[in-house]
Amino acid sequence: MNRRSLREHVFQMLFRVEFFEEGDIVEQLDNFMEESEPISAEDAAHISEKFNKIKELLPEIDKEINDKVKGWKTSRMGKVDLAIIRLALYEIKYDDEVPMPVAINEAVELAKKYGTDESPAFINGVLAKLNER
């Protein structure tokens, strides 16, 4: 599976976080792996590992979003947009293998595929705000 597909699977799991209790997440991850097209053990491990790392950092990631983005709190954002922003921010701040321009571009591409017509511009703007020094 290529990096874009792996990222898309992680995004889909992050999206599910919004709809299930903490105790159900492990079961949801298992269900997701079963429902998806055949995934190699290596790819499943990558998806699970990245998802779990992001999930652990969600309070910190959400705090940064809420602190830096004026007029938009995570509680007001669409769930698709929020999952994409969380993934991109994780990749920018914590994943040394993903250059910032790639993380932003991939986030915009996910927004085009899964979000509303306004999502790509919104996500690009939020990520620009988050990356201001």
Tallying the residues shown for the chain, one arrives at: 133
Contact indicator for 1, 43 with CB cutoff of 8 Å: yes
Task: Say if pTM beats, i.e. exceeds, 0.75.
Answer: yes
What's the total number of domains in the chain?
Answer: 1
Contact 29, 51 (CB under 8 A): yes
Instruction: Write the CATH number for 62.
Output: 1.10.940.10
CA geometry: angle 30, 31, 36, nearest 5 deg? 105
Going by C-beta distance under 8 Å and a sequence separation of 6 or more, which residues neighbour residue 40?
A: 1
pLDDT score at 18 = 78
pLDDT digits 0-9 by tens, 25-54:
777 777 777 777 778 889 989 998 999 999
More confident: 111 or 133: 111
Domain limits for position 119: 3-130
pLDDT in tens, 55-104: 999 999 999 999 988 888 999 999 999 999 999 999 999 999 999 999 99
CB atoms within 10 A of CB 66: 12
The phi, psi pair for 6, rounded to 5°, reads: -60, -45
